[in-house]
Structure formats: C-alpha cells, structure tokens
Structure 1
Amino acid sequence: MPEAPAAARRRQIPGPAPQFTAGRAPHAAGLAALQRTVGNAAVTRYVQRVQGQGGPGAREEARRHAADPTTHGEWDTFRDMMDKVGFPQDVTDAAWQLILGGIAEQGQLNDEALAMFTERQEQRDHRASNSWYQELVRLIGDYLEIDRPTMALWSGGIDTSVHARSKGHTPLESTPFGSVVNELQLTMDWMLKTPMWNVLSKAFVTRARGPVHIFLRAYNPDSVLIAQEVPQLRVVMALNPAVELVWHPVYTTADGQLMEVTKDLELASDATYRTRDLCVRALYDYLRLKHDQANSRSERANAEMGARLASNGNQP
C-alpha cells in the first residue's frame, strides 16, 4: 500500500476533534468545534437527528454512529489501516468523524435533491454539497496524490479499476486514503456514501499532472465519469497542457478476463484512443458485431448499449 506524501503526513488539524456522547447532542465545546468545521446549518441538522428526528433503518444507525463514532463496527479497522498508510492519529480521528457525520447528514440531502431538482446532474451536485464530505476533502486532500506516473478513471464496475491498476495506472481506490475507504462498508445504504466518493473523485481529478487513462466498460453519459470527472479534467487541461485523456474500451470475456478493443475489433491487452467518441464507437461496434450472447459477464454492457442506441432511434 502506498505511503502517504511527506507533506500530508506533517499536516495537523486546527483545534481538537469534536467529542460526542452516545445518544445525546454534542456538548457546547463540541458544537463550537463542529461549527468551525462544517458550519452552523450542518450542526443544526445534526443535532436534530441525534435528538431523534428522521427515518428508521440505515439513517437511524448513521445518526447513532455519528454521535458516538467509536461504536461503529469498522472503527478499529479504519484506525489500523490509516496507521499503516501513515496517517497521523489526529487526522484519522477527524476523518472518521467527518465520514460518519457526512453519512448521517446525507439522507436529508438526498431527499432534498429529489424534491428540488429534476436534472440528474443537479441532483448529484446537491447530494455532493454535504459539508462534512467537503471538509473531509480539505482534511485529506494531500492523501489523494497518485503513487504512479499516470492517473486512471473508469466506468463499468470495480473490476475495471483493478484492470487499470494492473496496467500501471492509479485509480482513486489506490490512493492512500481511497485504498482505506474502499475496504469499508460504512453503511448498508449505498446512497448515503456514494456522494462521498463523488466529492473525493472531484478532488482527485484536480490533481492530474500528466496523461489520464480512462477505462470504459460501459458508456453512460449520465455517469459520474462522463458528467463530472471528464468535464473537470477539461478545466485542468486548459490550465496544464501536460494533461491529456487516453481512452480504453474494455470488454469482459466469458472467463472473466478484461481485454481492450482494437480499431480492428480484436481483443488485446492494450488499446488506446485519443477521443471519447472513437473509444465508444469501438466498444459499441464490438458489442454489436462480436459480442457472444452466451457471455453473461458482458451482457449488462451489451444490454445498455442496445437500449441507448434504441433510445436514439438506431438499431443495435
């Protein structure tokens, strides 16, 4: 596992991390620390939740864990993994509180996103406005640096991230902090933690310093990759000419091996394209012309491709 950058290891947290008592709202000193960290509005919503307002299930569990972070079943695992990577104890403590506070906060933001917005990206942006997750990024941003020359982004399942790593690139899940959080469940409700990954991802891509390799097993214009990460990279590219996008169309064979699609529609260990459109065309053409219908491992990508073509008035 990569070691945290030296500059990040020296980083200190201003003031003590807020302390909580299980089942009750924070004391005055804890509230003051929280207000400095995430703002008055977030603290108000947090206190309301701890005092019992809100829904049952995963959200109730999230409130309990935010009120008493060390009772979470993964606290020991998180602490030990952070120590192995090289995080200072104060960063570990504060990061854990911010993660759990963000999970407790996220339910209301998710509800608001659906009630206030109809556009997918606007909903995603509102969910990602979670002040706890924003503060988490400010705290651990230096630990999102890559340990290899090239950054990797991906879409189409976690196996695609593993494939990118095997090619010598660094996805978010392989950064010092990402590698820790990726091993944790945190909550049973995926929608309470997905916005945290979106916030981390946005911070991650701003750290691109050279070629960024993008691995595409399925194309969805509404995905975080296409709707958020790539536009953010365009901004970075405008400021740094060394940053360029290198696209890889990925297909999973029947035996589970991830291969890349060449311009001749053959499968190879590596196939790169300079534009998204050429990459997507190669992937779609392979699925349309060569996909084995008995290959269940790529059936989802094939079905999504067919549905997208049909929605555009084309025949798959």
Structure 2
Amino acid sequence: MTEAGFSKDVVQSLWQLVLGGLREQETINPASADPTLTRTERRRRREDNSWYHQAVEMLRENNGFATPKMALWSGGLDVCRYAQSKGYTPMEFTRAGKAFNELEYHRDWQLQGPLWNILSKFYVEQATGPVHIFLRTYDPDSVLMGREVPHLRQLQRINPDVELLWHPLYTTEHGQIMEISRNRELVDEAVFPTRDMCVAVLYEYLQYHHNERNARAARSYEEMHKELSKNIHGKSAQG
C-alpha cells in the first residue's frame, strides 16, 4: 500500500478496518444463509459489512480508484491484463486494486469475497465518462452483468457521458487475444455501442469460426453452447 502511494496513517487505518471486516464477516455469513431469503437478499446481507464499507470509502477519499479510462471485463484474468495493455484501467490496475490484489487476507474466500464486491461497486461509481467492457465469455449471472453494468445504467440516468462501449474477444491458438469485428473477423480493435450487438457477434464467431482444437478458446465456446441451450429449452418450455 505504501508503494502505491498511500500514507502510513492511511495504511494502518485500512489494515484495522479490513481485519475488523473479516471478523464481522464471520458473523454476517451464517445469518445471510437463511433459506427463506432470496438470492439478492442473501447477497445484500453478505455485503452489509460496515467495516468493509469504511475501508473502501477511505480508499476512495485517497484517490484509490482514480482512472482516466475505466474498463470492466469478463472471461479470465488475462482479459483484465489485455484491457490494461490497450490503455484502459480495470479496477485491478488502480492504486487500490493493485495493492489489494497482492494480498490474500484469509484462506476462506467467503470472508474476503464480499470485500471485492464492495470494491467493484465503489469502482464503477467513479465513472464520469465512457466505460469500455471487454467480453471473452458472456455470463448473465456474473458480477459484471448482474451488478456492475446495472449500476452503470443507473449512473447514465444522471450523467449521459457514462457511455458503455463493448469489445467482443477471442483467443487464438497461439494465445493472442483479438477483437471480433462486425464482419466476424479478428482485428486489433472492435467496439460496439450495445451489449446485445457485442454478445451476438461473440456468439456467432464462436459458433461458426471456432476451431475445436483451440483449447485456449474452449471455455468461451462451451459457455456459449450452455447459454444457447438454456435459451432454446426455455423457449420450448414456453411453447
């Protein structure tokens, strides 16, 4: 944290807040497992950790999330690194994200995970302009699609400058991440104004151009078929 430019006093305060948050999470998690609660209600309870919220607010006050070109991503950590290599700043490459990403606070991810969810929420709240979203896989239940993007939609109502720009990605057999154009070709950059256009291009490329011997893109291909299968079966069940 010191190497990231935070003062010694801020580091000490943050450390105490994180430790307090871990202890608090041990109490919160069992209560949030109530089977009578909806999935959304359980998530909200898991993230109702005042220690974590204070820690993230302190990071915000100390410019922990400042970024000139905000980026979100889905599909593996190398997608995060790809976005950064293109000149954008995912949360993991902000001052706060770099420091937090270096540490494993607890071996039980159930205690640490809510902190990262709160971090991501605070990160997207800093959006004041275009946000670039890089997709190698599309999962409607992911944190990106279930929480970050809806929160950005709310921000757009207040600030129309918060524009969402979508990049569909594919990994070649040689491990190179490329973007998929409207013509379903692999190019250096392809930006779409809507999620649906981006996802359609991603699905179609995987369906018609994916080489099944390309293990590097196997996960994206398998998840595409799983999602399409659910959609098809859902429509059949509805008649």
TM-score normalised to the size of structure 1? Answer: 0.70
Q: Is the 8 A contact 1:155 1:216 kept in 2?
A: yes
Q: C-alpha displacement at 1:190, in angstroms? A: 2.2
Q: Name stretches of at least 5 consecutive residues in structure 2 with no aligned partner.
A: 234-239
Paired residue for 1:306, among 217, 220, 225?
225
Q: Is the 8 A contact 1:106 1:127 kept in 2?
A: yes
Query: Hey, what does 1:144 align to over in structure 2?
Result: 64
Q: How does 1:128-139 map to 2 (within 5 A)?
A: 128-139=47-58
* AA matched with 1:262: S
Q: C-alpha displacement at 1:182, in angstroms? A: 0.8
Q: C-alpha displacement at 1:290, in angstroms? A: 1.1
Say whether 1:205 aligns with 2:104. no
* Rg larger in structure: 1
**How far apart in 2 are the matches of 1:103 and 1:171?**
25
Q: Is the 8 A contact 1:212 1:244 kept in 2?
A: yes
**How far apart in 1 are the matches of 2:216 and 2:36?**
35
**How far apart in 2 are the matches of 1:128 and 1:226?**
18
Query: Hey, what does 2:18 align to over in structure 1?
Result: 99
Q: C-alpha displacement at 1:117, in angstroms? A: 5.4
Q: How does 1:12-31 map to 2 (within 5 A)?
A: none
**How far apart in 1 are the matches of 2:175 and 2:2?**
34
Query: Hey, what does 2:189 align to over in structure 1?
Result: 270
Say whether 1:189 aligns with 2:189. no
Of the structure 1 ranges 270-279 and 255-264, higher mean CA displacement relative to structure 2 is found in 255-264
Q: How does 1:154-303 map to 2 (within 5 A)?
A: 154-303=73-222
**How far apart in 1 are the matches of 2:43 and 2:202?**
27
Q: Is the 8 A contact 1:253 1:259 kept in 2?
A: yes
Superposition misfits of 4+ residues, deviation over 6 angstroms: none
Alpha-carbon distance change, 200 to 117 in structure 1, aligned in 2, over 3 angstroms: farther
Q: How does 1:113-132 map to 2 (within 5 A)?
A: 113-116=32-35, 119-132=38-51
* AA matched with 1:150: K
TM-score normalised to the size of structure 2? Answer: 0.91
**How far apart in 1 are the matches of 2:93 and 2:87?**
11
Query: Hey, what does 2:237 align to over in structure 1?
Result: none
Query: How much identity, in percent, do the aligned residues show?
Result: 47
Please list the CA deviations of residues 22-53 of structure 1 after superposition, one character each: whole Å capped at 9, or x if unmatched: xxxxxxxxxxxxxxxxxxxxxxxxxxxxxxxx
Q: Is the 8 A contact 1:156 1:217 kept in 2?
A: yes
**How far apart in 1 are the matches of 2:201 and 2:125?**
28
Say what the alpha-carbon RMSD is for the aligned residues.
1.8
Q: C-alpha displacement at 1:134, in angstroms? A: 0.9
**How far apart in 1 are the matches of 2:81 and 2:35?**
37
Of the structure 1 ranges 198-207 and 130-139, higher mean CA displacement relative to structure 2 is found in 130-139
Q: Is the 8 A contact 2:171 2:217 kept in 1?
A: yes
**How far apart in 1 are the matches of 2:147 and 2:40?**
8
* AA matched with 1:158: L
Q: C-alpha displacement at 1:303, in angstroms? A: 1.2
